[in-house]
Amino acid sequence: MNALSIRNLRKTYNNGFEALKGIDLDVEAGDFFALLGPNGAGKSTAIGIISSLINSTSGSVSIFGHDLNHERAKAKSCIGLVPQEVNFNQFDTVKNILLNQAGYYGTPRKLALQRTEYCLKQMDLWDKRDMVSRRLSGGMKRRVMIARALVHAPKLLILDEPTAGVDIEIRRSMWKMMQEVNQEGTTIILTTHYLEEAESLCRNIAIINHGKIVENSDMASLLARLHVDHFVLDLAQPIDAAPVIEGYQIERVADKVLNVAVPKEHGLNKLFSQLTAHNIEVISLKNKTNRLEQLFMDLVESSPKPTGVGR
């Protein structure tokens, strides 16, 4: 069964801006799915409609087989939403935020208390349960939102840029938490601007641009389409000019640093043997760009530009 099925979903705002131009999307139950797109592409509008924060203009959304228009309560019961910005009552305690959320979903008090304890412990927040939420750090507030979204045990968790603005340590710990939640059987839809995050966490991906889905496939086959990798080489000795090696684009960016575009059919071994032949010793190398980022830019830049009204 699909966790989410979207058919011909359209949204035109009152000012005439067409944010979604008839998108179709399926997310399988149990998936860890990335929904990517540049700012203003339509992904927040799509998530807003799925989570009932925005009214659609036309089209259908079905969550675990429940149509959002006809079986609204059942469809909504399946969803947990972690929005981009903090939106809980900052004057309430962490525990009350979760208990209220559980109550809104009709969870009996005893079970709500158990679920609150479980989710706060899972997010490493149990010792902060009686703290007024505005006193929490930014990273803790993000985790409160994830715990809140999980308290009614949703089957589909939507994470809208959950790690935006948090430091790398917290981001990594949140990745681990998200993976654990997914391994427990919860389907996750993730939007993020950190493409490294999507690449390492998600199995399937859709890219939305100008209100249309421009790519929808599994992560492995999408990445396999990348023909060229870009590397930065650190050299042992300074060089005056970049060597010319057939099949590779090499650029000297500093005395001891080269940028190299490596086509997959040529690979790295041939490059290294040629560099050795030029008496150039490489002491380290790293990927210049994230692989998904490269593909993302290619897809976004190649999709047609809109001609409608700006928002």
Partner 1 sequence: MNYSIAFRTIVTKEVLRFIRIWPQTLLPPAITTALYFLIFGKLIGDRIGTIGGASYMDYIVPGIILMSVISHSYANVVSSFYSTKFQRNIEELLVAPIPNWVILGGYVSGGIIRGLLVGVVVALISLFFADIVVNNVVITLSVAVLTATLFSLAGFINAVLAESFDDISIIPNFVLTPLSYLGGVFYSVEMLPDVWQTISMGNPILYMINAFRYGFIGVTDVDIQIAFEITGGFIVMLTLFSLFLLHKGIGIKN
Task: Give me the residues that bind partner 1 (CB under 8 A), please.
Answer: 13, 48, 51-55, 72-77, 79, 81, 83, 85, 87-90, 100-101, 103-109, 148
Closer residue to partner 1, CB minimum distance, 14 or 284: 14
Q: What is the DSSP string of 63-91?
A: ETTEETTTSHHHHHHTEEEE-SS--S-TT
CB of 71 to partner 1, least distance (A): 10
> Would you state the structure tokens that stand for residue 293, as one six-digit string?
């980022």
CB of 106 to partner 1, least distance (A): 4
Closer residue to partner 1, CB minimum distance, 101 or 216: 101
CB of 130 to partner 1, least distance (A): 14
Closer residue to partner 1, CB minimum distance, 71 or 196: 71
Closer residue to partner 1, CB minimum distance, 29 or 54: 54
Alpha carbon distance 258, 235 (integer Å): 8
Q: Can you point out the beta strands (E) in the chain?
A: 2-12, 18-28, 32-36, 58-63, 66-67, 79-82, 156-160, 187-191, 204-209, 212-218, 228-235, 249-254, 257-263, 282-287
First-to-final CA distance of the chain: 36
CB of 225 to partner 1, least distance (A): 35
Longest CA–CA span in the chain (Å) reads 74
CB of 104 to partner 1, least distance (A): 4
Closer residue to partner 1, CB minimum distance, 37 or 48: 48
